[in-house]
Amino acid sequence: MNGKKLQKLTDSLTKNCKHFNTYEVNCLVNLFYTLVGDVVERPGTVIGLDRNAFRNILHMTFGMTDDMIMDRVFRGFDKDNDGCVSVAEWINGLSLFLRGSLEEKMKYCFEVFDLNGDGFISKEEMFHMLKNSLLKQPSEEDPDEGIKDLVEITLKKMDHDHDGKLSFADYEQAVREETLLLEAFGPCLPDPKKLLYHLLLLFTLYLQPPSSL
């Protein structure tokens, strides 16, 4: 991509980006094309990060290990469901992922945890996510029973209308009362302790002259 195209793309993405300035968008666009590699742009060709490449970034950069959660995060970024994260989806996704407000993060996390997209987090969905994210204890004869107990405890804490599942209203109220419940069913946001380091790294290493693309 030549300098003029890069500048035009950066300007366009910055206008629609809530939490990054032009400098930061420029860094992230450079990083995106570094990660995608040498791809010739042709009409009708979608250039982006596929599921495996994106999951590798989540694992290597943000320390995520849960396959189910990483897949859901990928779906959260891939808004048009075409199987890859485009440069616009990359910028908009990272804007929320790295700097989103509590309201934005609550909506994002709820969508990650709502595995079937029906607007509720069911007991079955809680069970699958908690089973994946918790370490099994060798001494436990039936670890599933422990997970079931944890699901019931979670429902007692978060299910304010007592209908046996979590609506977004239930989840939002619980998180506002205790922000640690934001990632109650698995880590789907960057570790705050590592976040500053990653931001500094991103915005230092990937600001390259436009002519290099």
Give the Cα separation of 52 and 1 in Å (integer): 24
**Which residue in 149, 62, 73 sits closest to 111, CA to CA?**
73
- The structure's pTM equals 0.84
Tell me, what's the pLDDT at 137?
54
93 and 12 housed in the same domain: yes
Q: What is the 3-state secondary structure (H, E, C) of 22-45?
A: HHHHHHHHHHHHHHHCCCCCCCCC
Q: Is residue 186 part of a domain?
A: no
Q: Is residue 140 part of a domain?
A: yes
As given in the structure block, the two tokens for residue 142 are: 């039936």
Tell me, what's the pLDDT at 2?
67
Give the Cα separation of 7 and 26 in Å (integer): 8
Tell me, what's the pLDDT at 163?
96
List Cβ neighbours of 116 (8 Å cut-off, separation of 6 or more): 122, 125
198 and 126 housed in the same domain: no
136 and 34 housed in the same domain: no
For residue 135, what are the CA distances in angstroms to 139, 140, 147?
12, 11, 11
Tell me, what's the pLDDT at 11?
93
Give the Cα separation of 96 and 108 in Å (integer): 8
**Which residue in 78, 72, 80 sits closest to 110, CA to CA?**
72
Q: Is residue 213 part of a domain?
A: no
Give the Cα separation of 67 and 86 in Å (integer): 21
Beta bridge partners of 49: 85
Beta bridge partners of 85: 49
**Which residue in 96, 158, 174 sits closest to 125, CA to CA?**
158
Tell me, what's the pLDDT at 203?
66
18 and 84 housed in the same domain: yes
20 and 93 housed in the same domain: yes
Number of domains in the chain: 2
Range of the domain at 75: 3-100+191-207
Q: Is residue 212 part of a domain?
A: no
Tell me, what's the pLDDT at 65?
87
Give average pLDDT by consecutive 10-residue segment, the chain, 213 residues. 82 93 90 79 74 91 88 95 94 93 97 96 95 64 82 95 96 96 92 70 57 40
Tell me, what's the pLDDT at 120?
98
Report the CATH number that the domain containing residue 75 is assigned in CATH.
1.10.238.10
Give the Cα separation of 169 and 161 in Å (integer): 9
Give the Cα separation of 184 and 126 in Å (integer): 9
29 and 94 housed in the same domain: yes
